[in-house]
Amino acid sequence: MSLAQAHMDVQESLDNYLSYLGMERNLSPYTIQSYQEDLRHWVLWCNENTISLATLTQDQVDLFLQYLSKRYSYEPTSVSRHLSSVRGYLRFCHHRAWTNLDPALFLDAPRLGRYLPDCLTIREVEDIFSGINKERKWALRDCSLLELLYSAGLRISEALDLRIGQIQFDDCWILPIGKGNKQRLVPMAVQTSKNLHAYLTLERPLCSPKSDHFLVNPRGKAFSRMGAWKIVQKLSLTLGRSVHPHTFRHSFATHLLEGGMDLRVLQELLGHADISTTQIYTHIDREFLKQEHRNYHPREKSTLP
C-alpha cells in the first residue's frame, strides 16, 4: 500500500475528482452537480460500511450496486448511470494510485431492458401552457422555462446555463452549449421568441440580475436544478402524474418524429454527442433546419400563449 492510498479517504478523493472535472475536463457546473449527486450515495455507502479505497474490491462495488437497487428501488437505467459515475471516479483514483482497483478491467454495466422514456401528449403540453396564470408573479419566467425545454428541446442543464447572448430573437435561433462543450443551432417558433422576449424585457429586470444567465431566480442569480424541478412539478400538478424537466425534451423529440420529421434533423436539434452521427449533420442547411422545425413542431401551428 502506498502512502497516498493510506491517507486518501473516499470523501477527499471525491472532492479532488469534482475539482478535476471542472478545472481540467472543463465540464459545466450542472454536469458536475449530476456526478456529485450520484457519487454522494457512493460516499455514504463507503462510510457506513467502512470501505477503504486502498483495499477496494470488485465484490464491494457489486454490493454497492445491489444496495442501490434495494434501498432506492432504482431501475437498471439508474443503476447503470451510477455505475458510469463510479467508474469515472475510480479511473481517476486508480490513475493517482489511490486504489488498486482498475475499473477498465472489472466493472461491467448491468444489462438494460428496453426503455421507453416518459412522454406527454400534445394535449397535455397545451394544458400545461394554458394553465399558467398570466397574472401571477414570475409567470413569464415559468413559461420561458417550459418553452426552452419543450419548444426547443433543450436539456435542463442547457436551459439553465443559457446566456442572453445565445438567443437570437430577430432570427428565431437559440444557440445552446451541450455535452462536450459543443454549441448547436436550434430554431424556435415565433410565439416562443415572443414569450422569451417578454420575460427578458418585462419580468427579468425585476430580479436585479447579478448574472448574464437568461433564467434567473428572484435574487438575480442563475437558477438551480431544484428550482427548475419545483416549477415543472407545480405547473404539471393538474395532470395527476409526476413530470420531470427531461420529460419535455422527450416529448419534443416524440412529437416531431410523430409529425414526420427526418431522424437526422431531429438528432441535430437534440445535439446528440456521438461524433459518427454528428458529422452527418454538419452539412444540413440552416434554412432547411428552420423550415423542418416550422413544418413539424406543434407549437408553430398552435395558438398557445
Q: Which of the residues are catalytic?
A: 155, 179, 246, 249, 272, 281
Identity of the amino acid at 132: I
CB 101 within 8 A of CB 9: no
Q: Name the 3-class secondary structure at 286.
A: helix
What angle (nearest 5°) sits at the alpha carbon of residue 280, between those of residues 275 and 285? 125
CA-nearest of 202, 194, 199, 203 to 169 is 194
- Biggest CA-to-CA distance, the chain: 67
Which cell is 127 given? 394544458
Place of cell 426552452: 148
What three-state secondary structure class fits 82? helix
Contact 91, 126 (CB under 8 A): no
Q: Order of strands across the sheet with 167-168?
A: 167-168, 173-174, 186-187
Distance CA 3, CA 97 (A): 9
User: Torsions phi, psi of 266, nearest 5?
Assistant: -60, -45
Q: Nine-digit cell at 137? A: 408573479
CA distance 96 to 19: 14
- Tell me which residue of 54, 32, 46, 161 sits closest to 99, measured CA to CA: 54
> DSSP letter string over 214-268?
SSB-TTSSBPPHHHHHHHHHHHTGGGTS---HHHHHHHHHHHHHHHT--HHHHHH
